[in-house]
Structure 1
Amino acid sequence: MAFPSAPYDDDDNNGALLARESAGDNAPALSISEISALLKRTVEDRFGFVRVRGELSGVKRAASGHLYCSLKDENARLDGVMWRGNAQRLGFRPEDGAEVIATGKLTTYPGRSNYQLVIDRMEIAGEGALLALLAKLKARLEAEGLFDPARKKALPFLPRVIGVVTSPTGAVIRDILHRLSDRFPSRVIIWPVLVQGQGAGAQVANAVRGFSALPADGPIPRPDLLIVARGGGSIEDLWCFNEEDVVRAVADCTIPIISAVGHETDTTLCDFAADLRAPTPTAAAELAVPVQAELAAFVADLNARQRRALARQLSQAKERLEARSQRLPQPQTLLQGQAQRLDDLGERLRRALVHRTEIAGSQLARHAGALRPALLTARVDRERERLAARRLRPELLLQRIDHARGKVDALDRLRRSLDPKAPLQRGYVLVTAPDGHVVRTREDAAARPALRLEFADGTLDVVTEGTASVAAAPARPAPKPRPSARPPGQQELF
């Protein structure tokens, strides 16, 4: 159905049901997507490059690597997003409460009908804000116990291998090597890293973890001591040594670490986490090894003291030996009494042997007269008669065997008489139920639908006709007892 059209009139159309467009109208209705796109282009053209100062709030790093946050002041709040590529190049870790200056462009997000700042670069807003962020990070790490003195390890007295984490081209490594060669030449392994700028903190942390992960028997010797060093600079130049990743790597390292970052007045969080802080890189080398000349002099002094102590002990021992040797009697005097006793005992032994030989000879002569062949022959004859009297007679053994055989035969007859299947050979039948239960009465057989009959040559399954027909069968008279075939007076065998 077609409705008549009417000219468009604002005053007359205020209460109209359908929207109408008149000819020549220059304000057509836009879709939501169209108006959102127009608004997005307008905002981006007008605010294509802005620098915003504010306090970070709601900082969140997504799994994709993008960084989401809000910038706020006393009266307003602005949402911000930093894509992963720019977020990875940040020189610090954004945290809630940090005052920063963000550079980027404004854009709109049609999905939530709001606008946000796409951040290309983010910096700490001044040295005061940087120090506040540093104090906040230090308090948090200290609360976790990373700066606890109980965690610190003792430095080795004389490390054989020293690992150095620093820039390979700066003056720091030359100062360390020069000082080590002057004091005590040692093997040095350098892990080259950036000590300033973008990515320096990650390289330092990876170097410390890499030294700590070296095996003790690997191709690269494991250092006994580490030195993390850098020259002096501003707080911004030294900031990579305040990053949380570096501090945690130094605190978790299994090798003792000396932190030598900056000059004596410079302090970083790496200094608090290390086992020892050196005011300068040169001082770190001095703390790492002793002076070789001083050690040689000390060893020589100990050697001289040892020789003097041994000489003094030998002299004293010699004097005591001479004093005591003068009090000892002469050796001949000590042996005279023992020599006389030896002569006396030798003479007594000779006489005792002669006397014992005479006694044994007389005893032998007395007993030899009692040994006559006739006595021995008579003794042998008596023993032979006793042996013949004690020999076993075959009749006794046969009698015992016959008695035992009779008992075995009686037990075998009893076994055959008690065998439940023996009557089957004489024509009897064993009646059982299908489950193996033996059926002994007629009532039990009538109550079962099937029976199994076992004959001597096999079994046969049968089906009963019912309880009625079975009940009608006359009962067989009980068999009469057989007369005993046992003669009077004979006892029962079983």
Structure 2
Amino acid sequence: MSDILPADSKTNAAEFTVSEISGALKRTVEDAFGNVRVRGEISGYRGPHSSGHAYFALKDDRARLEAVIWKGTMSKLRFRPEEGMEVVASGKLTTYPGSSKYQIVIDNLEPAGAGALMALLEERKRKLAAEGLFDPARKRPIPHMPRVVGVVTSPTGAVIRDIIHRITDRFPLHVLVWPVRVQGDTTGAEVSNAVAGFNALPADGPVPRPDVLIVARGGGSLEDLWGFNDEAVVRAVAASAIPVISAVGHETDWTLIDLAADMRAPTPTGAAELAVPVRAELEANLSRLSARLKGCVLRHMDRKRQGLRAAARALPSADQLLAMPRRHFDEVTSRLARALTVSTERKRARLDAIRLSPATLDRRIADVRRTTDRDMARAHAALRSLMREKRSRLDRTAQRVGPQPLLRRQQQASESLAVLERRLDQAARLRLERLRGRATQCERLLATLSHQSILERGFVLVSDADGMLMKRAADVAPHAALALRFADGQVGAIATEAPARPKPQPKPKKDPGTQGSLF
């Protein structure tokens, strides 16, 4: 010690360097406060540093204590520190010689009672509700008969065994389990990754995509269930395209995932019951509906059959429907033969009454000429009357007006009369030409049908003494005087003998089944 003190020192107090004082203080503080629990409010927390360590402060209403959590300890914490959270920190006090500060190196961090956790939970609940993550309109219905059920839970606990056992009893189907830790600091990240992983599975991939998800955990304290209040879990469940059933804790427990899920189950076993129906009940319901359908079909067929029978009784038979048409057909058939015979006789009588002879043609030509002459006389008389009327009207007009208009009107009238005369002459000429053409046609027809042309071909016209034509040899009496008319003249003759009469031929018997014939 005497070596340290200077020669001219006037005191016997020991002299230390800054490093010696800092080291002595560090040892003293660490020895005196090697294991402490400090309660305070987190202040200045900005998350882990790039190195993985976290630096912040613990404070109350009168003092402030710097704190640090090393990277290895940070990963082991059950929940993440947040700004303003009241916590109980366990660790040891030490000093930092570089800034002459003392701080606590935290080994464990716990919320300062349920009140603080509930306040934090309520604050997080209000924040997420304001974003609409708990809106009932966003919730989707759970499929009635899923093919694949995805379960997010611990693979070693009793929860997964209860879920699988309940699903097997009710409706056996494919169950996919995504193993996660359901307690601890990594719970939020693992559960959110599991929900996102199930949603990322392709619909037609080698691993079937679940139709419904169950996020399950057994009961526990608020601290044990704190991982399911994580903001990342709530956002992952709210963003899931697959309907999610929340089954975290017992019926009285609740977490934020219950509010974001599409349906909340009181227990994991209840979640399995909500996810799948009871197969036996479905089969019984199907059998009941099948029996009802069969009964309805049978009753419907019975009603239709009864209606058909009633309609059949009301409808007449085929014989009744065809009775009147058959009778009408028979009557028409019987009248048709008589009608054909009568029509044939009438046509024959009309044909016999029509005698096309030269005298008939002459009479018709004479009638046409008389009609033409009468029409021409009427036309000339009408023209003369029209001219007289026009002339008298012209004279009256000439008396009312001067000579010049009268001359013009006379000139116009003269021109009109000239036009009318030309039109009259033209019409008369056309009329005469048409009549002359018709007369020429009649003369040609007369020449064609005249017996003179027939006589020119070598035929002879035979008549008796009275001038009556003899059409049949049977009508000629023996030694009768006959007149033979040739094309160039007439010669008398006497019948030498009676002609041989032809044997009458028997008439064919009429078939009663036929309708008759015109020939």
TM over 0.5: yes
- Which residue of 2 is the match for residue 59 of structure 1? 45
| 2:155 equivalent to 1:168 | yes
Q: 1:105 Cα deviation (Å)?
A: 2.7
Q: Is the 8 A contact 1:227 1:257 kept in 2?
A: yes
- Which residue of 1 is the match for residue 299 of structure 2? 312
- Which residue of 2 is the match for residue 327 of structure 1? 315
Q: 1:113 Cα deviation (Å)?
A: 4.2
SS at match of 2:287: helix
- Which residue of 2 is the match for residue 136 of structure 1? 123
What is the aligned counterpart of 1:127 among 114, 121, 132?
114
Aligned-partner Cα distance in 2 for 1:289–1:338: 77
SS at match of 2:257: helix
- Which residue of 1 is the match for residue 284 of structure 2? 297
Structure 2 alignment gaps of length 5 or more: 337-519
Aligned-partner Cα distance in 2 for 1:338–1:244: 97
Q: 1:79 Cα deviation (Å)?
A: 2.0
SS at match of 2:181: coil
Letter in 2 for 1:52: V
SS at match of 2:42: strand
Q: Is the 8 A contact 1:93 1:243 kept in 2?
A: no
| 2:235 equivalent to 1:251 | no
Aligned-partner Cα distance in 2 for 1:339–1:221: 79
What is the aligned counterpart of 1:280 among 267, 273, 285?
267
| 2:68 equivalent to 1:76 | no
What is the aligned counterpart of 1:269 among 235, 256, 264?
256
Shift of the 109–338 alpha-carbon distance from structure 1 to 2, 3 Å rule, reads farther
Shift of the 141–339 alpha-carbon distance from structure 1 to 2, 3 Å rule, reads farther
Count, aligned residues? 326
Letter in 1 for 2:86: E
What is the aligned counterpart of 2:198 among 208, 211, 215?
211
Q: 1:312 Cα deviation (Å)?
A: 2.1
1:389-433, Cα deviation, whole Å (9 max, x unpaired)? xxxxxxxxxxxxxxxxxxxxxxxxxxxxxxxxxxxxxxxxxxxxx
Shift of the 335–65 alpha-carbon distance from structure 1 to 2, 3 Å rule, reads farther
Shift of the 277–31 alpha-carbon distance from structure 1 to 2, 3 Å rule, reads same
Aligned-partner Cα distance in 2 for 1:335–1:300: 57
SS at match of 2:44: strand
- Which residue of 1 is the match for residue 222 of structure 2? 235
Structure 1 alignment gaps of length 5 or more: 1-19, 345-494
Letter in 1 for 2:112: A
Q: Is the 8 A contact 1:92 1:243 kept in 2?
A: no
Q: 1:272 Cα deviation (Å)?
A: 1.3
- Which residue of 1 is the match for residue 94 of structure 2? 107
Aligned-partner Cα distance in 1 for 2:166–2:316: 65
Q: Is the 8 A contact 1:65 1:84 kept in 2?
A: yes
Aligned-partner Cα distance in 2 for 1:110–1:122: 25
Letter in 2 for 1:202: A
1:410-421 matches, within 5 Å, as none
Q: 1:138 Cα deviation (Å)?
A: 2.0
Q: 1:287 Cα deviation (Å)?
A: 0.8
Q: 1:193 Cα deviation (Å)?
A: 2.1
Shift of the 199–339 alpha-carbon distance from structure 1 to 2, 3 Å rule, reads farther
1:257-297, Cα deviation, whole Å (9 max, x unpaired)? 11111211111222112111111111111111111111111
1:426-452, Cα deviation, whole Å (9 max, x unpaired)? xxxxxxxxxxxxxxxxxxxxxxxxxxx
1:149-179, Cα deviation, whole Å (9 max, x unpaired)? 1221210000111111122222222221221
Shift of the 338–100 alpha-carbon distance from structure 1 to 2, 3 Å rule, reads farther
Identity of aligned residues (%): 60
The CA RMSD measured in Å over matched residues stands at 3.3
Shift of the 36–320 alpha-carbon distance from structure 1 to 2, 3 Å rule, reads same
Letter in 2 for 1:199: T
Letter in 1 for 2:287: A
Aligned-partner Cα distance in 1 for 2:328–2:45: 105
- Which residue of 2 is the match for residue 86 of structure 1? 73
| 2:186 equivalent to 1:199 | yes
1:363-382, Cα deviation, whole Å (9 max, x unpaired)? xxxxxxxxxxxxxxxxxxxx
Aligned-partner Cα distance in 2 for 1:308–1:92: 64
Letter in 2 for 1:195: V
Aligned-partner Cα distance in 2 for 1:137–1:228: 20
SS at match of 1:104: strand
1:98-140, Cα deviation, whole Å (9 max, x unpaired)? 2111122333345544333222221112233222222222222
Q: Is the 8 A contact 1:71 1:78 kept in 2?
A: yes
Q: Is the 8 A contact 2:77 2:184 kept in 1?
A: no
Aligned-partner Cα distance in 2 for 1:54–1:292: 56
Q: 1:58 Cα deviation (Å)?
A: 2.0
Aligned-partner Cα distance in 2 for 1:296–1:334: 62
- Which residue of 2 is the match for residue 49 of structure 1? 35
Structure index of larger Rg: 2
SS at match of 1:59: coil
Shift of the 313–39 alpha-carbon distance from structure 1 to 2, 3 Å rule, reads same
